[in-house]
Chain A
Amino acid sequence: MTDRPTDHRSDTPVIHAAGLVKAFGDFHALDGLDLSVTRGEVHGFLGPNGAGKSTTIRILLGLLRATGGRVELFGEDPWREAARLHARLAYVAGDVALWPGLTGGQCLDILGSTHGAVDEKRRDELVERFDLDPTKRVRDYSKGNRQKVALVAALAAEAELLILDEPTSGLDPLMEQAFQECIRERRDAGATILLSSHIMAEVEALADRVSIIRRGQRVTTGTLAELRRHTRTHVHAVTDAPPSLDTLAGLEDVATERLDGRVDSRFTVAADDLDDVVGRLHAARIQTLTVTPPSLDALFLRTYGVTLDESEAAEPEAAR
């Protein structure tokens, strides 16, 4: 594996984990996790607190050693080759820890000194864009400002892969905007980005593909479009005549009422039936039509809602 030429790597996934297990004593932080991130994509890594996102990232960085399963970073072992592989990536931790007695600028240089290469011009631009005062001491920074230091350092690095662990939890909306622009620029420049988050709007705005994990296992993965296909679109239509929806099997949550001689219909429909539904609504002469695609929020809640219900239903039985 190590004798594979390193420049012939476009088909290797940047990150590949299969059946990953990490046990801390009896507690299984990761319990057979699969994750695959391909070159050039922004991959959203979603999950509630304690799902195992940070543990996965620490294994990818070679800080923790997996108890079982397989994990590859750039096709190599992240535990054994940690320092060498890190020349090709940059990392922003969820809770950025820096040296309180140093200034933000000094920390930027120190972080930069362990990156493969740093684009000094871009670094100065980023300092401007994120409105960072590099002469202020870290102990006087807010959480958001500490995060900005780590973000600027990571974005200024000439890295093939950015690993970002909830990078915007302390940023204000303006800075969040700047962050999203920067991520797109890096992606357009060819970088791969693993974005761990529980802010749906951020992932929705940035991610090409998403993996949702829960209790150390991947629940689902795919492009946003693929994930949406499994969820239902909300439709609200007002038509002149009653639409002939009764014969359509795929409708759910149907509520119809007559209003001033018009028909007000609300229902949800699977993505596959949408074309058929719109045709029938059109036949009934549409006055107003609102179609709401499933948000990632709904997706997330649905994924967790279902499994949560199942486990809740299962637990009392197991207790008996």
Chain B
Amino acid sequence: MSAEHRAGPGPSSYSGLGTMLRIVWRTRRRGILIWSLGLAATMAFTAAAVAGLYDTPAKIQSYADAVTAGNALKAINGHVEGINSLGGVIQDEFGFLASFLMPLLGISLVAGSTRREEESGRLEALLAGRISRRDPVVSALLVAAAAIAATSLLFALALIAVGVPVSGSVLYAVALGALALVFAGLAAVLAQLTLHSRGVYAGSLIVLALSYVLRGVGDVTETWWTWLSPLGWQEKTAPFAGQRWWVLLIPLVVVGLLSLVAVRLAARRDLGSALVALGPGPATARPGLRRTFGLAAWIHRPTMLGWLAGGVLLTTMLGALSRQLVDAIEGNPAMGEALGTTGQDPVLAVIAMTQLYLAVIATGYVVQAVGVLRGEEADGRLETRLAGTLSRGRWLAAHAGVVLLGLALVVGGSTLVFAGTAALSLGDGADTGQIIGSGLAYLPAELVLAGLALAVYGLRPRWFPIAWAGYAAVAFIAFLGPGLNFRSAVMDLAPTTHVGNPPVGSVAVVDLVTLSVLALLLGVVGFWAFRRRGVPQA
């Protein structure tokens, strides 16, 4: 006690970083736990399912033969070295999800505790205390690194548990962690450059999309392009073949440099400032913006454009690769099995896979778009809005209308791009009708998620994570279900399953009507509850 007292708070005793670390952990721990445990569970589930499904060397070999036939799947899941091993199959199955979820883990951990805090003004209160200007970004990075390390550890344990060799498991887990770290570092730099946490996400996701394309092109053409992509660095560690541990140095050096830049920028710039800022704007609102629908459209535009970009990216890639995918399936029927479309016309199998993935993007859009309403309310703008002659019903109807229109644009735009690129790749547009038809068939299932989100928002905005859990279930089942032969009770949880896998499977009109009615009922509950409850509820 007395010794502590003697040390005293002199200029050399520096407790700001420790305080800031505790603050970041305290405010972010729930999100960190959800992310880490959710990702680890996904990995554990994938590993267990693969181990159960491919339980003999012969089965693993046939899987390897199937997915390495042609280049198409390489472009999507990555080029997996040592795919004729259990670890390799898991890496291939987890590859597509990992290439988005790991970077998103890093981005969200850092964006949430840097620019968002600054934007809200909370950081100002902290910096007035004994916290130095660089402490927030340093602690955001340290907490992110710790969370990523914990996630990697869980990955390794899950892999070892199903019988994957220890060294390969560890290297694969560390390589995935390094991938997440690179994007955490990138987000930390962007948080210094942009004014809005939305800008951090937008910038990071653009880099992620570029990384995905670079890795895809590099893997297909077998050139050095792969080495330009953070996703490529993860892949090139080859955990289940050559085990190139030294490749880990590349992401680690990049993370070091990015962190250094972020900390330097944070120490030099003014609080609340950014390198990218907007000048003055119009002094009056154009007539469109004064209308309820027009303002709602303006509010939802960034969300819609973001998901539309994701959809167009996906359909461009798969459309452009459709010739190769078809050839691969024709050359090896086992590949159709891996895609969950055994013994079907290969062209239809490619369309079915693409439309299912697009449905996952579209449901993500509707859930996030309804979540925007929660943001409007939590920030106090809904109160401002409803203090005038605008009724609750009209406000919600305008926003619901904009979300529906946005859904039509995301699905319609992406589907048309798919039709175009697939026609170019396949040499004719004979399948355009099938492509558009199956895209439209998924709309009722997507609307069920929109209805769920609306119902939750109307009843209790605080319950909104339920809507995201619903989305996670849809994504999980869509991406992993067909390949891993999920039980039908699990598959049936996702509304997308009930569409009937068009154009491979047959679409029952009754099912679409049932889905539509369910969506409508959920939407009605949302409207009914929203008109009855108090505003604002955070």
What is A's interface to B at a CB cutoff of 8 Å? 58, 61-65, 82-84, 86-87, 90-91, 93, 95-100, 102-103, 105-116, 133-137, 139, 150
Contact = CB atoms under 8 A, between A and B. Distances in A.
B387 A61 contact: yes
Interface stretch (B9-17, B206-214, B285-293): B285-293
Given A64-B535, A116-B389, A93 B281 contact: no
A90 B280 CA distance: 28
Given A65-B534, A137-B278, A83 B391 contact: yes
Given A102-B285, A102-B289, A107-B285, 15 more contacts: A63-B534, A86-B388, A86-B390, A87-B389, A91-B388, A93-B384, A97-B379, A97-B380, A102-B281, A105-B285, A113-B285, A115-B388, A137-B278, A137-B281, A150-B384
A136 B389 contact: no
Contacts, number: 108
A241 B312 CA distance: 98
Nearest to B291: A113
Interface string B257-284: 0000000000000000000001011111
B381 interface: yes
| Residue from the set A90, A97, A109 with the largest chain B CB neighbour count within 10 Å | A97
A114 B285 contact: no
Contacts of A139: 195-196
B387 A109 contact: no
Given A102-B281, A103-B283, A105-B283, A111 B388 contact: yes
| Residue from the set A96, A99, A113 with the largest chain B CB neighbour count within 10 Å | A113
A114 B282 contact: no
Given A96-B384, A97-B380, A86 B389 contact: yes
Interface residues of B, number: 32
B278 to A, nearest CB: 6
A102 B278 CA distance: 11
Interface of B: 195-196, 278, 280-285, 289-291, 295, 299, 379-381, 383-392, 394, 532, 534-536
28 contacts: A63-B534, A64-B535, A82-B392, A83-B390, A84-B389, A91-B387, A91-B388, A93-B383, A93-B384, A93-B387, A95-B380, A97-B379, A97-B380, A97-B384, A99-B299, A103-B283, A110-B285, A113-B291, A114-B388, A114-B389, A114-B390, A115-B389, A133-B280, A134-B284, A135-B280, A135-B281, A136-B280, A139-B196
A99 B381 contact: yes
A105 B195 CA distance: 21
Contacts of A62: 386
A98 B387 CA distance: 13
Contacts of B536: 63
A258 B383 CA distance: 63
A140 B104 CA distance: 29
7 residue pairs, one from A and one from B, having the closest CB atoms? A114-B388, A97-B380, A109-B285, A83-B391, A105-B283, A135-B280, A113-B290
A102 B266 CA distance: 27
Contacts of A87: 389
B387 to A, nearest CB: 4
Contacts of A133: 280
A105 B285 CA distance: 7
Given A99-B381, A110-B289, A110-B290, A135 B386 contact: no
